[in-house]
Structure 1
Amino acid sequence: MWKPLSLMVLAGLTPPEWKVSIVDENLGVPDYGAMPRPDLVGITAFTSQANRAYEVADHFRRLGVPVVMGGIHATMCLDEVLERVDAVVTREADSVWKEVLEDARQGCLKRRYNGGFAEMTDVVPARHDLLSGKYAFGAIQTTRGCPLNCSFCSVTAFNGAHYRQRPIPDVVREFQLIRERLVLVVDDNLIGTRPEHIARAKDLFRALAQANLRKEWIAQATINFADDEELLALAAQAGCSGVFIGFESPSPEGLRGYGGKFTLLKDRDIRASVRRIQRHRILVAGSFIIGLDMDEPGIGNRIAETAHRYGVDNLNVLFLTPLPGTRLWDQMKAQDRIPLDTLPEDWKYYTLTYPVARYRHLSLDGIIQEMTSCNETFYSVPRLFRRVLSNFWHRRKPLISLAGNLSYRGNLRQGAEAYASFKRYSDSRRR
């Protein structure tokens, strides 16, 4: 759907004497053997992609090509990754990438480079020109870090709790480099949580509107996005067409003990908040989690009905997943609630779309049934077309709304097949 931004950022940091190419295996696996032999290979991967990353690394290392790996999984599972590559970059690579390249040139790569947290004034424009076509969205990042520090989320563990913002002129200039008309702003929370964060977001939206980019963009934010009418109006003027909001639980109390979102959602009229956003012709996609410790049988239908009552345009439901490096991982590991622990083999299931843990009140069959029930209820044909017709009536991105709803509904059959395969694998592990 969108370009792999981190690799494009590293390409932008690379001195001009290096020739850079990017391979995105989401578009297909190329014939690496037919490619010219590179001097250095850099790989990034989410946890669920780790096994494939190791296969690619092994191919090039057997050819004598040094391999460096970075990103969130490499940071959280350093020892595991060090066994399979020549060098690892932990945290943000901006400050150490040129050092990595120089050491590679001299043939003296260190085993580990710790980038720490980058100064946002040092973040360079990504090389958007290196990948073209086949993507629905371009991608850009304007902030890093999240102060909410939710126990199930690895963002704070990787990017820190300090909310850092790029200079607005830099963001506008990079927006202008993006060829795609649709853009994903990959920030984990575009607008932040404090008054000074909101003020900066308003300034950014004013600058984007003034630049007249003729682009539409979607972003992630917390529900406090709805609390400021000026902020909403400026976002719409700047090209915002959709926002992804994590509600996580049908009751804010379900998040108690999981992090800062409990405070943002407590005692709030969420339906009214969603409506305020939609009045500015901005679509709202709501995200929920199944498998929180308070979730009991019936949670699937409860989430579907809650999302319907909130009036969200799309619903994205994920299984509570203990990702390495999070407090949730430490907690579930200590409680012996992570049965899929043949690592790294089992990482392939850590996509947030498989129930990889043991859940307090839900069996494996039970939690899969709750997910299936939730999606079938929310994306039933009558409700789907009611939402789409409402968006046509209010001129709120009706074609995007239709495509999104049909896409989610179309995934239901694939989901059933994937769950059946996963259950067979899980059962075989118990024998």
Structure 2
Amino acid sequence: MRLYLINPSNPLVSIVNLKESCWNRYRVWKPLGLMVLAGKTLPEWEITIVDENLGVPNYQAMPRPDLVGITAFTSQAPRAYEVAAYFRNMGIPVVMGGIHATMCLDEAMERVDSVVTGEADSIWQQVLKDARHGNLKRRYDGGLAEISDIPLARHDLLTGRYAFGAIQTTRGCPLNCNFCSVTAFNGVRYRQRPIPDVLREFQSIRDKRVLVVDDNLIGTRPEHISRAKDLFRAMAQANLQKEWVAQVTINFADDDELLALAAKAGCRGVFIGFESPDPEGLVELGKRFNLRKGQDFRASVRRIQRHNILVVGSFIIGLDAHKPGIGKRVAEAASQYGVDNLNVLFLTPLPGTRLWKQMKTEDRIALDSFPEHWKYYTLTFPVAKYKHFSLDVIIEEMLSCDRDFYSMSRIMRRVWGNLWQGRQPLITLIGNLSYRSNFRLNCKAYADFKRNWGDRHNCIKES
């Protein structure tokens, strides 16, 4: 029995298209979810994982599969349905899972043979048994998997043109921000994999550099921090000889022992969601965790960096609390905090989030011809109607932010500062040039976007 597991592409996402820029090799991640399912796949199945981000293959020239499994984030959904239609027209059953199929169940069920909602780990072997016997059900509900039952991912099935391997050590996030669908999909309960399992999987990864895909590696509560310390101690003792990056909250900087252990375990960079430079914006997003009394973001970033750990800061523009000029304010805030890289996104209502429900109720979804328009829900296109911004203005806010933060003078100051402090100047240079190199592509993409969809935003008033 032959199984294809497919991660569909999105041609609008230039940052993960390796043909557009050699720098994008450092910004494309392995589809870990498919690798985990491969680890749960019964031995009688011959597995091929296809990651279309590395290039869309000639499916016609490939051996005919007996079953196709497709995962998709929301922005991948249109391409996922194209792939599904191709194989279904050949009489091959297609099962779809992942966050979009879970949040848009009816839409997905119209376009595939079977849908797996929630985390597929616990139900996947049953799906395969039913498929083998020609008895595939229309829907399977995985719910929330037992974290101790998550298998080691099949890292051997994807090698080659990736700069990073991938691993997951926890699921769920207790922050429950209104724009994030993690809680809706993975739950608010913070679940941690057994440390021995994490170590075994790390050891099975051939890549020297690894992305820890946890939405919040260290958690928020004292018991979460304690477990993170235990994990880092075990990783250091195992001498994994890996360098890794992860997503954390700003409380990562509050515990010097935690920082020292993370660095000793191989941590070389963290992604932190600052989200907004204003307290009003954080309240609007439901991220009150960043409003803790006395929090000095500049001092926090420096404490992290003193352990030779780079910091990527993430912000969102387009909040109701934001006014024109927010692009430059974000760039200035990020520079003031001293982050090594900046990632800025448009406020995007994703299915399943509280933000989606709010904007849907307020008739603020600008691009709503689905599933076609899902391809724009990458967080890098302004798909909603924004309170204080016309379409032209909010796009210019984004471009001005990138222009300011990624000017050559500021890049060289950051690189020089890292060189002076002995903190990975080459990695900082590569990361900054990667973002800068996509600026021209972004300008063209926004021009095309305005030409095609500007009329859907014409009711927005600039204040």
Q: In which range does the TM-score fall when normalised by the shorter chain?
A: over 0.9
Kindly report which structure 2 residues correspond to 1:271-350, keeping only aligned pairs within 5 A, or say none.
271-350=298-377
Find the partner of 1:122 among 141, 144, 149.
149
Find the partner of 1:364 among 388, 391, 406.
391
CA contact (8 A) 1:223 1:265 kept: no
CA contact (8 A) 1:252 1:266 kept: no
Partner SS, residue 343 of structure 2: strand
CA contact (8 A) 2:169 2:214 kept: yes
Which residue in 2 is equivalent to 1:240?
A: 267
Which residue in 2 is equivalent to 1:29?
A: 56
Deviation per residue, 1:395-431 (Å, 9 max, x gap)? 1111110100111111111111110000011136579
CA contact (8 A) 2:359 2:365 kept: yes
Partner SS, residue 42 of structure 2: coil
Deviation per residue, 1:242-270 (Å, 9 max, x gap)? 000000001233111422x2233343111
Which residue in 1 is equivalent to 2:204?
A: 177
Looking at structure 2, the residues matched to 280 and 332 of structure 1 have their Cα atoms a distance apart, in angstroms, of 41
Which residue in 1 is equivalent to 2:8?
A: none
Deviation, structure 1 residue 305: 0.5
Partner SS, residue 245 of structure 1: strand
State which drifts further: 227-236 or 26-35.
26-35
Partner SS, residue 219 of structure 2: coil
CA contact (8 A) 1:291 1:359 kept: yes
Which residue in 2 is equivalent to 1:6?
A: 33
Partner SS, residue 21 of structure 1: strand
Which residue in 2 is equivalent to 1:207?
A: 234
Which residue in 2 is equivalent to 1:189?
A: 216
State which drifts further: 391-400 or 198-207.
391-400
Alpha-carbon RMSD across the aligned residues, in angstroms, is 1.0
Whether 1:269 aligns to 2:321 is: no
How many corresponding residue pairs?
Answer: 430
Looking at structure 2, the residues matched to 252 and 306 of structure 1 have their Cα atoms a distance apart, in angstroms, of 13
Looking at structure 2, the residues matched to 22 and 51 of structure 1 have their Cα atoms a distance apart, in angstroms, of 19
Looking at structure 2, the residues matched to 83 and 221 of structure 1 have their Cα atoms a distance apart, in angstroms, of 37
Output the amino acid matched with 2:290: L
Partner SS, residue 247 of structure 1: strand
Deviation per residue, 1:14-33 (Å, 9 max, x gap)? 01111111000000011111
CA contact (8 A) 1:137 1:180 kept: yes
Which residue in 2 is equivalent to 1:223?
A: 250
Looking at structure 1, the residues matched to 218 and 69 of structure 2 have their Cα atoms a distance apart, in angstroms, of 32
CA contact (8 A) 1:141 1:185 kept: yes
Tell me the TM-score normalized by structure 2. Answer: 0.92
Partner SS, residue 135 of structure 1: coil
Whether 1:59 aligns to 2:82 is: no
Find the partner of 2:180 among 124, 143, 153.
153
Whether 1:43 aligns to 2:66 is: no
Ranges of 4+ aligned residues in structure 1 off by more than 3 Å: 428-431
Partner SS, residue 42 of structure 1: strand
Which residue in 1 is equivalent to 2:139?
A: 112
Deviation per residue, 1:60-86 (Å, 9 max, x gap)? 101111000000000000000000000
Looking at structure 1, the residues matched to 348 and 430 of structure 2 have their Cα atoms a distance apart, in angstroms, of 28
Partner SS, residue 53 of structure 2: helix
Deviation, structure 1 residue 126: 0.2
Looking at structure 1, the residues matched to 124 and 440 of structure 2 have their Cα atoms a distance apart, in angstroms, of 43
Partner SS, residue 406 of structure 1: helix
Partner SS, residue 206 of structure 2: coil
Deviation, structure 1 residue 151: 0.6
Looking at structure 2, the residues matched to 183 and 38 of structure 1 have their Cα atoms a distance apart, in angstroms, of 31
Output the amino acid matched with 1:314: N
CA contact (8 A) 1:47 1:347 kept: yes
Whether 1:402 aligns to 2:415 is: no
Deviation per residue, 1:312-370 (Å, 9 max, x gap)? 00000000000011110010000000010000000010000000000011111110011
Q: Structure 1, unaligned stretches of length 5 or more?
A: none
Looking at structure 2, the residues matched to 391 and 258 of structure 1 have their Cα atoms a distance apart, in angstroms, of 32
Change (3 A) 1:226 1:430: closer
CA contact (8 A) 2:147 2:191 kept: yes
Partner SS, residue 98 of structure 1: helix
Change (3 A) 1:20 1:362: same
Deviation per residue, 1:277-330 (Å, 9 max, x gap)? 000000000000001110100100110100010000000000000001111001
Give identity over the alignment, percent.
74
Output the amino acid matched with 1:69: M
Q: Structure 2, unaligned stretches of length 5 or more?
A: 1-27, 459-463
Deviation, structure 1 residue 381: 1.2
